[in-house]
């Protein structure tokens, strides 16, 4: 199944490269890719303009989309595992609201530096929101720690949304730019965005993969996990921080893209079961393929105009999520 998912991801990426007005062919692209392998010399027949479009426009955008989709899906699987809630997603603890508030603040008060300051502001905003959620959750405590943290995340998200709405109301000239970022986009300036998020994504995904067996143990409950030598509180805090770090990193460059983190792991779980040693890598591959394909739709549905990718993921993900939710409800009966 992992091999099949890899083939699907490769096919989707090849499709994304070919779609567009540059006139690229599958044969030329594959030969050009082979030419970049060390000690391989091949003539793809692509013009200099086509090579520039391929390596400076399309490939960076596809790689960025794959990284964002993979990170959101893996983070969703991690959240759902530590909270034992198949409806949890990476924005559960206020990541999206905090990142949105940070981005809005950068746009409102940044002036000419607003665009440059937007990714770090969104990154910091997401991390601060999660820190506030955990601080609020610890003051309440209780036996059901995961429930308390979720409710604290709802409260922090509502507070951040309120401040964001106030800032937008006071500076209505920034509404277009704010909404453009909030609806998500994968516009790239060469490889800079890819290189900015790549270390975070690689480290966070590797850590979640290493904790796949631990997530399986935590699925039986905190008491049982403790009896098996696991510290549920520490593991939960650590994995939430890791998933949040990766999510905040990709959100800072892509904007708010919904439904990937909740739909993909949930759908994969229905296909392969709850075991995280298979769930996490499959969520990674399927999430990457899903977002690359959604970006193709966003680029072509209203060409030459471009749809926000968040609109596409919502249009695809919301109905699919309802079908999955109904199916899982029937199976639970």
pLDDT digits (tens, 9 = 90+) for 48-95: 888 888 889 899 999 999 999 999 999 999 998 988 877 778 777 888
Going by pLDDT thresholds of 50, 70 and 90, the confidence category of residue 113 is low
pLDDT at 115: 61
Q: Is the pLDDT of residue 296 over 90?
A: yes
Q: Is the pLDDT of residue 308 over 60?
A: yes
Residue 293 — very low, low, confident or very high, per pLDDT cuts 50/70/90? very high
- Residue 78 has a pLDDT of 93
Q: Which residue from 268, 115, 271, 130 is spatially nearest to 189, judged by alpha carbons?
A: 115
pLDDT of 188 > 80? The answer is no
pLDDT tops 90 at residue 258: no
Distance, in Å, from the CA atom of 125 to the CA atom of 302, rounded to the nearest integer, reads: 33
Res 9: pLDDT:
95
* CA–CA dist 146, 169 (Å, integer): 35
Residues, the chain: 333
Most confident residue range from 236-240, 301-305, 321-325: 236-240
Whole-number Å distance between alpha carbons of 122 and 234: 26
The residue that leads in pLDDT, 180 or 98, is 98
Q: What are the tokens at 81?
A: 């595992």
In contact, 98 and 161? CB cutoff 8 Å:
no
Over residues 188-202, the mean pLDDT reads: 88
Place 142 in a pLDDT band, splitting at 50, 70 and 90.
low
Closest listed residue to residue 131, CA positions, set 164, 87, 84, 98: 98
Q: Residue 328 has what pLDDT?
A: 60
Q: Tell the residue number behind the tokens 């595992």, with chain if given.
A: 81
Assign residue 188 a region (left: φ > 0; alpha: ψ between -120 and 50; beta: otherwise).
beta
62-325: CATH topology is ABC transporter involved in vitamin B12 uptake, BtuC (1.10.3470)
Average pLDDT, the chain: 85
Number of H helices, E strands in the chain: 15, 0
Does the pLDDT of residue 114 top 60, yes or no? no
More confident site: 284 or 230: 284
Q: How many CB atoms lie within 10 A of CB 15?
A: 14
Q: Between 89 and 16, whose confidence is greater?
A: 16
Q: Give the CA angle between residues 58, 64, 68 to the nearest 5°.
A: 145
Could you tell me if 275 and 122 are in contact, meaning their C-beta atoms sit under 8 angstroms apart? no
Distance CA(44)–CA(259), nearest Å, equals 38
Q: In this model, does residue 264 exceed pLDDT 80? A: yes
Contact 258, 311 (CB under 8 A): no
Kindly state the average pLDDT of the residues 290-297.
94
Span 292-303, mean pLDDT? 90
Angle ∠(163,161,123) on CA atoms, nearest 5: 90
Q: How confident is the model at residue 333 (pLDDT cuts 50, 70, 90)?
A: low
129 pLDDT exceeds 60? Answer: yes
pLDDT of residue 90: 76
Question: Are the beta carbons of 60 and 190 closer than 8 angstroms?
Answer: yes
Rg (CA), the chain: 21
Q: How confident is the model at residue 290 (pLDDT cuts 50, 70, 90)?
A: very high
Answer yes or no: is pLDDT of 209 > 90. Answer: yes
User: pLDDT at residue 150 above 70?
Assistant: yes
What does the block give as tokens for 52? Answer: 């520039």
What are the extents of the domains in the chain?
62-325
Task: Evaluate whether 67 touches 198 at the Cβ level (below 8 Å).
Answer: yes
Question: In the predicted model, is pLDDT for residue 260 greater than 60?
Answer: yes
* 110 cis-preceded (ω within 30 degrees of 0): no
* Range picked from 145-154, 206-215, 223-232 for highest mean pLDDT: 206-215
96 vs 6, more confident: 6
Q: What is the pLDDT of residue 231?
A: 86
pLDDT of residue 220: 82
Closest CA to 275 of 206, 220, 333: 220
54 vs 259: CA distance, rounded Å: 29
């Amino acid at each position: 199944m992992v091999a099949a998912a890899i083939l699907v991801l490769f096919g989707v990426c090849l499709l994304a490269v070919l779609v567009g007005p540059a006139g690229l062919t599958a044969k030329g692209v594959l030969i050009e890719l082979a030419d970049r392998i060390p000690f391989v010399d091949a003539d793809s027949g692509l013009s200099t303009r086509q090579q520039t479009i391929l390596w400076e426009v399309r490939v960076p955008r596809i790689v960025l989309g794959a990284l964002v989709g993979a990170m959101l899906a893996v983070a969703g699987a991690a959240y759902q595992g530590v909270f034992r809630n198949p409806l949890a997603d990476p924005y559960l603890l206020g990541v999206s609201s905090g990142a949105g508030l940070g981005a809005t603040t950068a746009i409102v008060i940044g002036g000419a530096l607003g665009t440059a300051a937007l990714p770090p502001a969104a990154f910091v905003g997401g991390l601060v929101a999660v820190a506030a959620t955990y601080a609020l959750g610890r003051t309440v405590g209780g036996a059901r720690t995961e429930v308390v943290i979720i409710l604290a995340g709802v409260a922090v998200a509502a507070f951040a949304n309120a401040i964001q709405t106030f800032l937008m109301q006071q500076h209505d000239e920034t509404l277009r730019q704010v909404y453009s970022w909030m609806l998500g986009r994968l516009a790239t300036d060469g490889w800079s965005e890819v290189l900015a998020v790549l270390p975070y994504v690689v480290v966070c995904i590797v850590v979640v993969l290493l904790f796949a067996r631990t997530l399986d143990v935590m699925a039986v409950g905190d008491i049982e996990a403790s009896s098996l030598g696991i510290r549920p509180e520490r593991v939960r805090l650590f994995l939430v921080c890791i998933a949040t770090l990766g999510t905040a990193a990709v959100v800072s460059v892509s904007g708010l893209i919904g439904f990937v983190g909740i739909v993909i792991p949930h759908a994969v779980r229905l296909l392969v079961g709850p075991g995280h040693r298979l769930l996490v890598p499959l969520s990674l591959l399927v999430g990457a393929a899903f977002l690359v394909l959604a970006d193709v739709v966003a680029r072509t549905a209203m060409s030459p105009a471009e749809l926000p990718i968040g609109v596409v993921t919502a249009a695809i993900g919301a109905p699919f999520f309802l079908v999955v939710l109904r199916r899982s409800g029937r199976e639970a009966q």
